[in-house]
Structure 1
């Protein structure tokens, strides 16, 4: 990451010393800060406020892609940072999610009472999904129904963010020390899954 990019991104970083001491979390928080910075820059260029806001959660009711490190972050956040009442609510949601065998297009298992239960560590896919004009309707995927209203953040910022997390993956996967942008993209595509497909009930 360039020094100027890093300085700008630090304004968006989730600072939590206990959480970032967990394996890979400091890398991921740096990556999230870079993504958030790129999204903020892209929103500023739009010259209009996003339609997204409190209580708007229809984007959480569709398949949500996430990498293994992002999934680990959600687990750790729920375990370490949520108060007992919220943690219990999540466990109940996980159990219900498992019993009903919710389809991959169902609600994210971290959606609690219309709000994200792990907002500071939500995946990159969530951070980048911003809609203008009007909030999404129930069942709407704005990328399909009105793609011109969907923010298109700089792709290079997302790829740079993902590359920041490569040291964690090198300890767990067979990856070369030097990897091209194309190879990195292919790797992350291969390890990404959908949040709704993760066995959250067994983790709880």
Structure 2
């Protein structure tokens, strides 16, 4: 009988640290402290304000997603990540806030689909689809999908001219190729509101 041999071990990928108390479990990205502020100077931080800036969120967002930040004081500032724990820095915001908690299958609507298309494809009637997802509206009036152009969802659904949208959100680019999912964009200013 041949003698057992040791299998090659996987590369050391590191162990996942536990989530901080109360941290959301549905996040698409977590961070552990300390975090590097800049690769050039090697400065590390535990501070919530610094970390919020790194992930383009607010300190209030971090505290909402990680309630322990509000009750566990830091050493140098009132809000600090603690070493040895993971914290949510980017939640999965694709879910409607009032979607039924009993959902066993989720999907993202495809560009160009109507509410009726979506219901048909999954073998549902619109009444059930609406009961389970009340935010889409009784007649699916709040159901929206993006078209081929990244600005279509704003131009078609909010009725903002594309040139105005691009002027207020220059990072999207003139062809709207820079529209990023789950980012907030300006669609009104005090002197201009979208048509009712």
TM-score bucket of the superposed structures, by smaller chain: under 0.3
TM-score by length of 2: 0.22
Name whichever structure is richer in helix by fraction. 1
Greater RCO structure (CA 8 Å; 6+ sep) = 1
TM-score by length of 1: 0.22
Question: Which one has a bigger Cα radius of gyration?
Answer: 2
Name whichever structure is richer in strand by fraction. 2
